A and B are shown apart, each in its own frame.
Chain A
Amino acid sequence: MWRVTGHDWVVSLLKGSIAEERVSHAYLFTGPPDVGKGTLALNLAQALNCLGEDKPCNECEACRKIFAGIHPDVRMVDLHYQALLRDETPAEQKELRINTIRSITQEAGLKPFEGRRKVFIIQDADRMTTKAANSLLKTLEEPPPHVILLLTASDTRLLLPTIASRCQVFVLRLAPAEIIEEELRLRHGLDAERASLLARLSGGRIGWAICAARDDSILKDREDTLRELAVLPKMGRLDRLDYAQRLVRKSDLMRETLELLLSWWRDLLLIRGGSPETINNLDSAASLEEDAHGYDLWDIVTFVKAIRRTQRELELNVDPRLALEVLMLDLPARSN
């Protein structure tokens, strides 16, 4: 039973290849964050080592061990793993280094300990340094017969073309809201109303929906942030700069807030552009509608670009306070 939601075509292909014994030695799953890449990789690792009939059965010893992360032949390679290798904290790890990848290539030479296949799951392969990525190439092309490598990344284009070309690439797409809604209701026991709300807010990212279902504070935080953001355009410049400063102090919230701001303004763009079917923040459709008509379409475009620019700048280590202040000054004035 595959515990993957919304990627039926991938699952059916993988099932087919396991049944026909034409499993490839390298897979690459790409897609936006929280779309289910990691879950899919873990499920595939289970299916490859499962002892039961209907693979993965989720009940046999191998499946349970892999799910718990204690199977000796399934190695999850990510920043946490690297932190263990280097005897540091996960927060100190920014990218996957060449030594981490070398440790894989060495370990790959060993026979599986108890499973049938040795599986390496390289999470966020786009975090590999150029050196690390290059050092993976030969192993990725022709690993020892019992080894399978599963890579996840947010986009193929962030990887070396030589890496992607050695893998079977599956581009995971955002799942439709109905499927997420059903999943939330059936498997996570949410009532219909809440399931429908979360499904629509998730924008197709099942991972986010499940997190929000488990943790009420996510939804509450989102509402608080939205309320603050709604007031922004009415504030004077001084207050907005003040807001920017407050936001910088809560640095963990900063990126999320920007993401929310972006999704809000994308909705404005869609509504003002005359195509409101695919907006994300359906729960506030009314205030979006009202907001949208206060702005010129070109102003909205310009500001959406400004938000994207700010996000890029934050990645590039621009002083966050400066970047946010500029963004606050860029906020367009309402035309009526």
Chain B
Amino acid sequence: MAHAFYRKWRPQTFKEVVGQEHVTQTLSNAVSSSRIVHAYLFSGPRGTGKTSTARILAKAANCLAEGGDKPCAKCAMCQAIDEGRSMDLIEIDAASHTGVDDIRDLRDKISFSPSEARFKFYIIDEVHMLSSSAFNALLKTLEEPPPHAILVLATTEPHKIPGTVLSRCQRFEFRLIPFNAMINRLQDIAGREGLEVSEAALDLIARQSTGSMRDAESLLDQLASYGGPEITLDQVQTMLGLATSQAVKELVDHLATQDVAAGLGKIGHAVADGADPRQLNNDLLSYLRGLLLMKTTDRGPANMTAEQQSELARQAAHFSLDRLVRTIKLFSRAALDVKGSTQPQLPLELAFVEAVLSEESDDVPRPTPSTGPAKGPLKIAEQRGAVTPVGTSPEPPAGRPTPEETPRDETPPESRPRLGQEATEGGLAGLLDTWSEIAANINRSNRNLAAVVRDCPPVAVEEDLVTLCARSRFHKDQLESDQAKELVGKAVGESLGQRCRIRCVLTPDTPNQGTREDDLQQLTEDPVIKAGLELGGQIGTVR
């Protein structure tokens, strides 16, 4: 059985490791000046060369060649390690040997001298999976191993490693492999394997593997089985389930013209033609990202032809920035909707319809930022998001507004106290934006107060007087104690950059007189209350 490309073409010398010059140069200097230390930690994303570099370092440390570049890859020692038969290179899978006993075993054996090599070399791979007691059992050995031992820890998740381990190692961070370096390496491998790969196909392979060399080599390996004279762009697209870039562009056109029917049709066709809906979603997202760049910088993403640029510019003109951002958010959420469902294209279809619908509503001027054509529950949820800057979860618990919130939400924004609003609109908006931070600041000194503050957004800023809007008398009383006024004033002052006084008013709809009938009328139209009434409930008191 032939080895997979990523094993067959595993780099054998420091020079062959792609895109990690900052690591390989340092290590190879350390080897040539005999300054190898006893503990290293290699961290970085998958497929960037951690294990390979560790093995190369093992060879370099033990290489028998006199002078010249180490490792030589020719001497008996280098070959023994390459073939995996050296007794002194011990590779430990820390993810399946996670326990403290495994580390004790290591500690007991490490003191024996190496059998033939100069150094006894331990590679502990996937080290983030060690249990905490295992890590602690390793500490003493890691700090002062016997003179003949070198330990290399490798992991994709360095944040899971305790600080005491980190501080005992020389740490090297591996980076994602740059695009061009990856292309060169792939060309090199393809050449040595006798494969013809078209440039566009290579380009796509490299882009698809997002900086991981192993992903790229796996893909190339997979494509090699097609067995034709040349690997073409078409084959890569079929295998990855990519829609043509034409399809993606048209889909964006349908978004721009707000054509639901054509858009849904396009998605259906693309999927029927073999596109993977999730991949299509990703492609669409990166295309929209291009539009976003075009819109904000007028240049669009790098490496695009002038023709593509002008095409992007044309489409960008159809979207307002606000609209574009909202659309991108919708599709990103769809991309996260991974779990389950026998209908993989549903999240995409849903996001498309939603994007178009929320854009249609954009044309109508509205009092609050996001009312949309939403009816009933959703409207309430969105409005609440607009009023209080905190607690706007991506998916508000639509359809379940608690009774006490309902009256407040149904008050049109105009009827809120407007004290000097026109003078300091900017200050108020800024304050609203940072309100959750302010509440968090207060939370450090007084938790109860922070909770109250979160519920009482500012409604007006007049010179140094900030007016907060309390929903209930309880909140108002809490805010009006001297201590509270001082704390809140200080926190708000820090945000505005000036000293502030705090004033508190009740939401006008709470003690509203005269409109009680209307309120009741509105209440009974609320879906939840309506359901309650239908089930035989009665409205007692409205607070």
Contacts and interface: CB of A to CB of B under 8 A. Distances in A.
A155 interface: yes
Interface stretch (A70-78, A224-232, A271-279): A271-279
B196 to A, nearest CB: 15
B342 A171 contact: no
Nearest to A304: B350
Contacts of A98: 96
A269 B399 contact: no
B218 A169 contact: yes
Given A20-B225, A137-B126, A270 B374 contact: no
Contacts of B350: 269, 301, 304-305, 308
Contact of A308 (B279, B341, B400): B341
Contacts of A329: 399, 527-528, 531
Given A23-B2, A134-B95, A329-B527, A308 B337 contact: yes
Interface residues of A, number: 83
A175 to B, nearest CB: 10
Nearest to B335: A157
Contacts of A145: 1
B340 A16 contact: no
Given A157-B338, A275-B268, A311-B340, A173 B241 contact: yes
Contacts of A167: 218
A236 B357 contact: no
B253 to A, nearest CB: 15
Contacts of A105: 96
Interface string B268-295: 1001101010110000000000000000
Contacts of A3: none
B218 A165 contact: yes
Contacts of B341: 32, 259, 262, 308, 311
Given A32-B344, A297-B357, A278 B272 contact: yes
A326 interface: yes
Contacts of A161: 45-46, 212
Interface string B397-438: 011100000000000000000000000000000000000000
Nearest to A48: B1
Nearest to A24: B4
Contacts of B265: 275, 277
A176 interface: yes
A290 interface: no
B268 A278 contact: yes
B35 to A, nearest CB: 30
A13 B225 CA distance: 6
Contacts of B373: 298
B130 to A, nearest CB: 10
B346 interface: yes
B399 A9 contact: no
B2 A275 contact: no
A263 B344 CA distance: 11
B1 A21 contact: yes
Given A134-B95, A269-B353, A330 B399 contact: yes
B535 interface: yes
A138 B97 CA distance: 11
Given A137-B93, A138-B93, A162 B46 contact: yes
Interface string A302-336: 10111011011001000000000010011000000
A237 interface: yes
Nearest to B217: A165
A165 B46 contact: yes
A298 to B, nearest CB: 5
Nearest to B535: A238
A296 B239 CA distance: 39
A22 interface: yes
Given A17-B225, A135-B96, A266-B349, A34 B342 contact: yes
A20 B227 contact: yes
14 contacts: A26-B4, A134-B128, A138-B96, A155-B278, A158-B338, A168-B218, A170-B239, A174-B271, A263-B343, A266-B346, A274-B260, A299-B375, A301-B357, A302-B398
Given A13-B222, A134-B128, A273-B264, 12 more contacts: A22-B224, A26-B4, A117-B1, A135-B129, A137-B95, A168-B218, A174-B271, A270-B268, A270-B349, A302-B398, A308-B350, A329-B528
